[in-house]
Amino acid sequence: MSTLVKKALGLALLSTFASAYAPSAVASSHREAPFITQNPKVDGTDFYMFRSYEPGRSGFVTMIADYVPLQDPGAGPNYFEMDPNALYEIHIDNNGDAKEDLTFQFRFSNTNKDTQLTVGGKQVSIPLVINGGAIAGVNAPGTNVRETYAVTVVRGDRRTGTRATVVNADTGAASFDKPIDNIGNKSIPNYAAYAAAHVYNITIPGCATPARMFVGQRKDPFVVNLGETFDLINIKAPATEFAANAESAAKDDLAGKNITSIELEVATACLVAASSTDPVIGGWTTASMRQGRLLNPTPNSSTPSKEGGAWTQVSRLGAPLVNEVVIGLKDKDTFNSSKPSGDAQFATYVTNPTLPALIEILYGSAGAKAPTNFPRNDLVAAFLTGVKGLNQPATVTPSEMLRLNTSIAAVAMGGQNRLGVIGGDNAGFPNGRRPGDDVVDIALRVVMGKLCTLNLGCAPTDAVAGGLHFTDGAYLDDSFFNASFPYLKTPLPGSPQQ
């Protein structure tokens, strides 16, 4: 791929993003809309949904919703708790009507255990927010703050449907402990084992097969070369064609960041519609806050503010990069507050996308020509309906979400193609999304017409640049992750020295 085409990619992204974001704060769905930058605890960064590829778990689907972006490992003393005044949700549409049929709701609670020391004959609360000593197990004595959560499954409408409590399959408890963040190796000498103690077997009412769940800090799974792209394409080692490790020299600006993951592994039979043979499900994650907030003029650790009113959705994420490179700036907050059933209002952004036009304006002479098929039916398939014969439901209302054909077998770790479907691997993005799918490269090639070269929604003649290997230069494949649930790597420690 020519240097000019690489520059076209970078400058187009720069033109699309620069008016809304600080360059160091853009990645996947990290800080993707103006309002959400004010509320990082409810900022959804990535959503994954895929057939589990852990050996022996082929009958399950894993869903991962990541929140709280750009976590610096050493950012104490408060670190990165979830918002106890927010509602975090994962939604499943299993009949193609753009409405949730199944919702998993997560609510968090924080308890100040008020660890004290005797100083000069008086009991005095310690200043450390999280830990007062070494931590080895769930709710260890050394933890100064205990963070727990409860899970509800809702069948039907997320607010008016039938509700039931998810419980621990081993103990029957309805409250689950969330591990504290990876403070460092002195506080938590074996964080991997500590986190693993927070993987729960759970009983979901209405589902005969126990599921698995983990909620906690992980290494940010997203990979992107931000800084060099936004510095007028100051790429020190630009990628070439995907030779072995060709991209490994490019900088990943999230290499030193963590996120917080909400992860569920649920039996496929519990997610597909019982009354249908259609194997395709759609999924997305949202976060909501109360409409009203009254600040306490004399706050304490438990009541700094009073929240009330109806739930108001402030974050939404299905397929990656939609709100970044598809939705226009004036509608980004609107998209975050919307439901898939209302996505007709955003249709023009898909049928007449601006990103390919920007690339052609900047570097058309280098061969970066935008596809000419309007409306862009190939993008309608990728973003709004699923691709026919791959992951399009039997009946479908056009709407943005991540769609997964659960009848397509998972590909084991080591055999996955990092480019998913356009790389010949139908178990990958846009048929769901696995952690090792390089969605930046995939999405950029798709918007420039890659599906046309495959005669999916358009003809090869509609996309003369559809075969160009657009890339951000940051390498990602399945080797970056674990081979078993919860898949994402152990978070980076705040203090690596023991």
96: in domain = yes
Q: Given a cut of 90, is residue 127 above it in pLDDT?
A: no
pLDDT of residue 333: 87
Give the whole-angstrom CA distance, residue 63 versus residue 68. Answer: 17
105: in domain = yes
Among the listed ranges 7-11, 430-434, 438-442, which one has the minimum average pLDDT value?
A: 7-11
pLDDT of residue 362: 67
Q: Given a cut of 90, is residue 394 above it in pLDDT?
A: yes
pLDDT of residue 470: 78
489: in domain = no
What is the average per-residue pLDDT within 224-228? 68
What is the average per-residue pLDDT within 355-382? 84
Which ranges in 91-202 belong to alpha helices (H)?
191-196
- Cβ(427)–Cβ(434) below 8 Å: yes
Give the whole-angstrom CA distance, residue 423 versus residue 477. Answer: 12
- Residue 462 CA, distance from chain mean position: 32
488: in domain = no
- 463-472 residue pLDDT tens: 998 988 877 7
pLDDT of residue 455: 86
Q: Given a cut of 90, is residue 143 above it in pLDDT?
A: no
The whole model's pTM is what? 0.90
pLDDT of residue 23: 30
Burial of 78 (0-12, 13-18, 19+ CB in 10 A): exposed
pLDDT of residue 477: 94
What is the average per-residue pLDDT within 405-410? 98
Whole-angstrom CA distances from 97 to 89, 216, 301, 322, 412 are 19, 32, 44, 20, 32
497: in domain = no
486: in domain = no
- 177-219 residue pLDDT tens: 999 999 998 889 999 999 999 999 999 999 999 999 999 999 9
Among the listed ranges 47-56, 132-141, 210-219, 238-247, which one has the minimum average pLDDT value?
A: 238-247
Give the whole-angstrom CA distance, residue 137 versus residue 391. Answer: 42
pLDDT bin (cut points 50, 70, 90) of residue 129 is: low
Q: Higher pLDDT residue, 205 or 15? A: 205
Among the listed ranges 5-19, 131-145, 245-259, which one has the minimum average pLDDT value?
A: 5-19
For the chain, the domain total comes to: 1
pLDDT of residue 338: 92
Q: What is the mean pLDDT of the chain?
A: 86
Joined together, the tokens standing for residue 107 give 């609510």
Q: Given a cut of 80, is residue 285 above it in pLDDT?
A: yes
75: in domain = yes
Q: Higher pLDDT residue, 87 or 299? A: 87
pLDDT of residue 428: 97
Kindly state the percentage of the chain with pLDDT values over 70. 86
485: in domain = no
271 lies in which domain range?
A: 3-476
